[in-house]
Amino acid sequence: MSAWTYLIISLITLPLIGALSLSLNMLKFSLAKIRFSKVKENNFKKLENYILDNSKTASVILNLSLRSCIGAGMLALFFLIESIFLLCNYPLNWISIILVAMFSIVLGILFQYAFSDLPASYYANTNPNLSMKKYSKVFAIVFILIFPIEFIARKISKRIFGKNIEEELDSFNYIDVDVKLRAESSDIDELNSVEEEILKNTMRLPDLVVADILLPRNQVCFLNLQDDFSINIKKAKDSGHTRYPLCNGNLDNCVGLIHIKDIFRAQEIIDSNDALVKIKRDIMTVREDASAAKTLSSMRARKSHIALVEDEFGAINGVVTLENILELIVGQINDEFDKAEDILIKKTNDNTYKVSGLIPLHELSKILDVELFSEQASTLGGLITEELGRFPTQGEILKIESLEITVNQVDKKRVILCTIKI
């Protein structure tokens, strides 16, 4: 083809690519905005609802389409500049071709940001619902073109890198990355500080598993069918909890759940452990490696406030409560029945904290801004025991990362209270 042909094709192609890129960006930003601020309208059509309900698939298609537009735009710019050089009778050698290619890349990035990313971000955030309605048809077109490419690429990647990479891709959502970045931003005008903190915690929830928040086995208060009935009733009165696992000897032999309300309702006939068995409820079981977010959803669906936590071999490692998971989102919940020692952390001066041995490591890491991690332990007390290789003694001092930890109080089974200096 002649230089004039390249010039004409490039001049026609570039505006089309730019318009397509702008449309896709409008759709991407409006999708992120709707998911972030929940401004979805009720009169969306079937196509718009499909995009919103399948945001993971939509985000993959949109990002691949935008990358294709950027690549095509750079190629069109290269042919445009090259044809101009040829029409001006400027000799092209390999050095000038490389320079033209580099200039096309820089110019393509500049045009993409100035004429697509910035205006799309502004207009889509101003009216995301209108943008979603206006540009959703563009998605239908690119979906037909891009989905086969994405499918083939995924299969090739799976064959080369293994099945795990496909599982990671399935758990990744480009749109949610945009939403998380919005949540992490410090200049969110729509939210006050409390709402912003809750949103940030919610975004972190999928990264946590049940093992991070469970109440360890040796701290679980349960009713034992091998104990006398009067002992079980006294235990329930003294502990002040609402729900108790009902076990035959230990948590591995849990037969159900006792709600204190059921005992009071039938107190005239509740006079033995056999009577407790008759009023027991079912108790759900979750894996310790289960997602905290999915566990929250499961517990809500089953209207369950407590669940046993089992390891990969089926042994019970402790329990998790609905309150444990909600505290990940809203922070520690204390009521008038909580004892002073139940408060997990209290700042005493600028660099010193009184900390419960039961505080989860992820929560302590967040508050103190340090990275505390253990494959075996989920609480501070467990981490101290793991670091020492034995159970600590009262008054013992150790250093973990940048922290100086003094063990203030222990009993036979657990670390009760520590002092941490940063």
Is there a single domain that holds both residue 172 and residue 249?
Answer: no
99-123: per-residue pLDDT in tens? 889 999 999 999 988 998 888 888 8
pLDDT recorded at residue 106: 93
Confidence of residue 242 (pLDDT cuts 50, 70, 90): confident
200 in a structural domain: no
d(CA 377, CA 357): 11
d(CA 100, CA 36): 41
Check whether 386 has a pLDDT greater than 70.
yes
| Between 259 and 374, residue with greater pLDDT | 259
Could you give the number of structural domains in the chain?
3
393: left (phi over 0), alpha (psi -120 to 50) or beta: beta
Check whether 21 has a pLDDT greater than 50.
yes
Mean pLDDT of 284-300: 89
Is there a single domain that holds both residue 325 and residue 371?
Answer: no
30-48: per-residue pLDDT in tens? 877 776 555 455 567 777 7
Is there a single domain that holds both residue 306 and residue 390?
Answer: no
Is there a single domain that holds both residue 259 and residue 153?
Answer: no
**Cβ contact 258:223 at 8 Å:** yes
Domain that holds residue 404: 340-421
61-94: per-residue pLDDT in tens? 888 888 899 999 999 999 998 888 888 888 778 8
Query: Would you state the structure tokens that stand for residue 309, as one six-digit string?
Result: 């936590």
Is there a single domain that holds both residue 272 and residue 133?
Answer: no
**Cβ contact 66:24 at 8 Å:** yes
CA dihedral of 339, 345, 348, 349, whole degrees rounded to 10: -160
176 in a structural domain: yes
Confidence of residue 375 (pLDDT cuts 50, 70, 90): confident
Is there a single domain that holds both residue 347 and residue 322?
Answer: no
Q: Is the pTM of this model over 0.75?
A: no
pLDDT recorded at residue 195: 72
Q: Mean pLDDT score of the chain, rounded to an integer?
A: 82
How many whole angstroms from its chain centre is CA 403? Answer: 27
Mean pLDDT of 379-396: 88
d(CA 107, CA 302): 56
CATH number of the domain where residue 361 is located: 3.30.465.10
Is there a single domain that holds both residue 262 and residue 353?
Answer: no
Lowest mean pLDDT among 136-140, 186-190, 317-321, 356-360: 186-190
With pLDDT > 70 as the criterion, what percentage of the chain qualifies? 87
190 in a structural domain: no
CATH number of the domain where residue 292 is located: 3.10.580.10
Residues β-bridged to residue 410: 415
205 in a structural domain: no
**Cβ contact 150:59 at 8 Å:** no
189 in a structural domain: no
pLDDT recorded at residue 38: 52
How many whole angstroms from its chain centre is CA 159? Answer: 28
